[in-house]
A and B are shown apart, each in its own frame.
Chain A
Amino acid sequence: GAGVSQSPSNKVTEKGKDVELRCDPISGHTALYWYRQRLGQGLEFLIYFQGNSAPDKSGLPSDRFSAERTGESVSTLTIQRTQQEDSAVYLCASSLARGGFYSPLHFGNGTRLTVT
């Protein structure tokens, strides 16, 4: 079946512009996660959705970052007034929350964001 889909796969933007990153989770997965991965580094937690609500937004780095999810499916991560430090790969993952926390995360291939 279809996996987690992220678009675009690559995005180059100028400093100060806004960008939107999209994630389509696996159908039926009610939990959705966003992570940031800088070059050669680990996964930095950004935000987690359970259905359409976000019980944990603690990882969003600043108020320039926001995320929403509608219809328990697609999620968008928006970065306003991008800075060069925002350059990274943004990974989205989903999981079966009904399966409890036993369910592993299934990852997309990420969006590589480059801010020039």
Chain B
Amino acid sequence: AQTVTQSQPEMSVQEAETVTLSCTYDTSESDYYLFWYKQPPSRQMILVIRQEAYKQQNATENRFSVNFQKAAKSFSLKISDSQLGDAAMYFCAYKGVFNDMRFGAGTRLTVKP
């Protein structure tokens, strides 16, 4: 099965600053999707952004963008102009052609006022 690795258990950022969360994955598939989900204390999982492996252009959603490096199997999330409401657990996820979905261990993001 594919594995997803998030090497940063915790990160912190000053409000209005930029932070990057790292994610790497292991796969032998050529096409797949990658996702970032946010889980605030309410424990509701919220989709932040997604990227198709065949698209070279990095996905962007408002203040959230990704740096997708297919050859390196890296998929980092950049949060610009961080806000207090961005504080949460962030999970990187991989979805393959068989529709299975695997998650990383998560990164806890703290935003300091």
Decide: A48 near B100, CB < 8 A? Known: A41-B106, A110-B43: yes
**CB atoms of A105 and B101 under 8 A apart:** yes
* Residue in B32, B44, B106 whose beta carbon sits within 8 Å of that of A42 in the complex: B106
A95 contact set on B, CB distance < 8 A? 99, 101
A101 contact set on B, CB distance < 8 A? 32-33, 95-97, 99
Chain A: interface residue total (CB-CB under 8 A): 24
For chain B, what secondary structure do more than half of its interface residues adopt (helix, strand, loop), or is it mixed?
A: loop
Which of B33, B43, B98, B99 has the most chain A CB atoms inside 10 A of its CB? B99
Total inter-chain residue pairs, C-beta < 8 Å: 56
Residues of B74-102 whose CB lies within 8 A of A: 91, 93, 95-102
Shortest CB-to-CB span from B94 to chain A, Å, is 10
**CB atoms of B103 and A109 under 8 A apart:** no
**CB atoms of B33 and A102 under 8 A apart:** yes
**CB atoms of A102 and B100 under 8 A apart:** no
**CB atoms of B98 and A55 under 8 A apart:** yes
Shortest CB-to-CB span from A48 to chain B, Å, is 6
**CB atoms of B101 and A42 under 8 A apart:** no
* Residue in A31, A56, A58, A91 whose beta carbon sits within 8 Å of that of B45 in the complex: A91
The verdict on A43 contacting chain B, using a C-beta distance below 8 Å, is yes
Decide: A104 near B35, CB < 8 A? Known: A43-B91, A91-B45: yes
Residues of B23-79 whose CB lies within 8 A of A: 32-33, 35, 42-45, 47, 50, 52
Q: What are 26 of the A-B contact pairs (CB < 8 Å)?
A: A33-B101, A35-B103, A41-B105, A42-B103, A42-B105, A43-B103, A45-B100, A45-B102, A48-B100, A50-B99, A55-B98, A95-B99, A95-B101, A97-B99, A101-B32, A101-B33, A101-B95, A101-B97, A102-B33, A102-B50, A104-B47, A105-B35, A105-B101, A109-B42, A109-B44, A110-B43
- Chain A interface (Cβ within 8 Å of chain B)? 31, 33, 35, 41-43, 45, 48, 50, 55-56, 58, 89, 91, 93, 95, 97, 101-102, 104-105, 107, 109-110
